[in-house]
């Protein structure tokens, strides 16, 4: 059997990190809006230093998000931030824009890079292309199915990361659509800079009884999925093929929720490696336990894992 995958989580704040690692996480992803998209929390440079110290002391890895799409005005900031991350000793930078790769070659040539564009990592040729450019890992798109994931891993020359739990992004625009609309209506809508419980705007689809979380930050407008992916009962194929990293996304979730979900995925992964039959028997129990802690009006589903992939 292949090696156990990394269990990657996204904490809301520095204080959450120790709890999530003790719950079973082996890596964290953090960052700040200036450089990263759709983060669970805002981590200043001082926070990144503190988070890295804590995680490394507990044997976990630290990845920093630089997955925004950068315009010319931000380019001068990239070398300084990458140099800071290299000095801090973070384990990898997550990027989507080649500008990050180019800047890293200049100022942080030993920095490990994880390619993550959210939507275009849909085949192994593209994953291997970015591997040849310097990426160590490809983060697969959320819109591809299990068969495609397995085939990509079988043919990939880089590590493969898959999101197995949590909210996913459905739409992003650099425009401040909500704020501009409210201004047009003559209403004063303040969009907070930091992610918090005040982010409670939704788009409502009465026909499907679906609520789509929508929020704005420095990178524009984000519309998120109405349900959380949950694959805790369908991990076998990905474990057998050796997927390198399973991600649990903590965006708009409490640390208590993340702690419980992380514990369950840790238990499920370990159980499958010890006794696949026991894992098979506990599948329904895992689903019921997760449903019991889901936020109100927010169900779980399997995303695109078992759908025909259509673009």
Residue 53 tokens read as 């110290």
pLDDT at 122 over 80: yes
Instruction: Give the pLDDT mean for 247-269.
Output: 96
Alpha-carbon span 65 to 8, nearest angstrom: 13
Instruction: Give the pLDDT mean for 103-109.
Output: 97
Alpha-carbon span 38 to 199, nearest angstrom: 13
Phi/psi at 15 (5° precision): -65, -20
* Least confident piece of the model among 15-29, 83-97, 210-224: 210-224
Instruction: Give the pLDDT mean for 133-138.
Output: 97
pLDDT value of position 74: 94
Q: Tally Cβ neighbours within 10 Å of residue 190.
A: 8
pLDDT band at residue 223, thresholds of 50, 70 and 90?
A: confident
pLDDT value of position 207: 74
Radius of gyration of the chain (CA): 19
* Least confident piece of the model among 100-114, 157-171, 216-230: 216-230
Residues 170-179 pLDDT 10s:
677 776 666 6
Q: What is the mean pLDDT of the chain?
A: 88
Alpha helices in the chain (DSSP H): 17-22, 45-57, 77-88, 98-107, 124-133, 146-155, 177-184, 236-241, 255-274, 276-293
pLDDT at 29 over 90: yes
pLDDT band at residue 215, thresholds of 50, 70 and 90?
A: confident
Task: Give 200 or 140, the one with higher predicted confidence.
Answer: 140
pLDDT at 89 over 90: yes
pLDDT at 149 over 80: yes
pLDDT at 193 over 60: no
Q: Which domains does the chain have, with CATH numbers?
A: 6-166+230-301 (3.20.20.70), 172-223 (no CATH)
Alpha-carbon span 115 to 164, nearest angstrom: 18
């Amino acid at each position: 059997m292949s090696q156990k995958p990394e269990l990657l989580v996204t904490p809301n704040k520095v204080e959450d990190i120790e709890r999530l690692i003790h719950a079973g996480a082996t890596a964290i992803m953090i960052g700040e809006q200036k450089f990263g998209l759709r983060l669970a929390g805002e981590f200043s440079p001082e926070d990144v230093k503190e988070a890295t110290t804590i995680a490394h002391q507990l044997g976990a890895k630290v990845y920093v998000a630089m997955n925004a799409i950068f315009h010319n005005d931000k380019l001068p900031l990239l070398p300084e931030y990458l140099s800071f991350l290299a000095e801090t000793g973070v384990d990898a930078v997550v990027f989507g824009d080649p500008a990050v790769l180019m800047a890293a070659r200049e100022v942080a040539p030993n920095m490990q890079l994880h390619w993550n564009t959210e939507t275009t990592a849909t085949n192994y040729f593209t994953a291997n292309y970015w591997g040849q450019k310097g990426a160590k890992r490809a983060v697969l798109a959320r819109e591809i199915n299990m068969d495609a994931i397995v085939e990509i891993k079988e043919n990939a020359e880089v590590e493969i990361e898959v999101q197995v739990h949590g909210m996913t992004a459905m739409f992003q625009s650099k425009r401040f659509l909500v704020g501009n609309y409210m201004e047009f209506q003559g209403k004063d809508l303040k969009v907070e800079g930091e992610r918090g419980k005040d982010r409670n705007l939704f788009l409502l689809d009465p026909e499907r009884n679906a609520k789509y979380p929508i929020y704005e930050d420095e990178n524009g407008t984000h519309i998120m999925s109405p349900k959380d992916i949950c694959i805790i009962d369908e991990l076998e194929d990905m474990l057998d093929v050796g997927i390198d990293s399973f991600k649990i996304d903590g965006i708009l979730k409490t640390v208590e929720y993340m702690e419980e979900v992380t514990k369950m995925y840790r238990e499920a992964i370990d159980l499958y490696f010890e006794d696949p039959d026991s894992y098979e028997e506990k599948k329904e129990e895992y689903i019921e336990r997760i449903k019991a802690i889901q936020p109100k009006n927010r169900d779980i589903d399997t995303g695109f894992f078992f759908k025909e992939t259509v673009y």
